[in-house]
Amino acid sequence: MKEDLTREIELKEKISVRLENNVLKVKGPKGELEREFTYPGVFLTVEGNKIILRAPQATKREKKIIGAFESHIINMVKGVEELHEYRLKICSGHFPMSVSVSGSEFVIKNFMGEVVPRKVHLVKNVDVKINGNIITICSLDKEAAGQAAAQIESLCRVTNRDRRIFQDGCYITHKAGKDL
């Protein structure tokens, strides 16, 4: 059954929001993020310190879209207020591997005794730090931080060996907001 749907997101004092041509710009103490929110039948407005999502005569799909938009906006607000952080642990039981960051490239040398280093290009606006055997990834954008962590974890995929014995690699131990 169709019904009018309205969701409001309240903002704190230190966060400012602008809406220009369906592009929402959120600015806070840590930085600024922007994202486009476009879907027919879903309207986004900014009134004072509130963001209002509205869908007159909302269908099931529009209700889902409003929920997704609300989650994205909440993650943007959390990101500019305090950075999203992912942590990975480096495990090397058989071969001592070395991990480094050079510019926007993440490099793993001597993984499973390989001669050719494994490399991955990191997403923009992601800060990667290596402290001992812990890799810390910080970003304003939760999706960018998660993508960088996933790329690093999949870079160390073990093939043609028993995974119960060869547990070498980089594994996510902490996601933004929860420990694993």
Higher-pLDDT residue of 172, 161: 172
Contact in structure between 96 and 110 (CB atoms under 8 Å): yes
Once rounded to an integer, what is the mean pLDDT over residues 101-117? 88
**Assigned superfamily of 84-179:** Ribosomal protein L6 (3.90.930.12)
Contact in structure between 167 and 92 (CB atoms under 8 Å): no
Residue 132 phi, psi dihedral angles, 5° rounding? 70, -120
Full-model pTM = 0.87
- Any idea what DSSP says for residue 12? -
> Which amino acid, residue 89?
K
Looking at the chain, the whole-number percentage of residues with pLDDT higher than 90 is 60
- Any idea what DSSP says for residue 141? S
Once rounded to an integer, what is the mean pLDDT over residues 37-63? 90
The Cα 135–Cα 169 span in angstroms is: 12
In the CATH scheme, what architecture does the domain 3-81 have? Alpha-Beta Complex (3.90)
Residue 3 in this model has a pLDDT that exceeds 90: no
Any bridge partners for residue 101, and if so which?
A: 106
138's CB contacts (< 8 A; 6+ apart) are 83, 84, 85, 86, 126, 127, 129, 145
> What average pLDDT is seen over the chain?
89
Pinpoint the residues of the chain covered by CATH 3.90.930.12: 3-81, 84-179
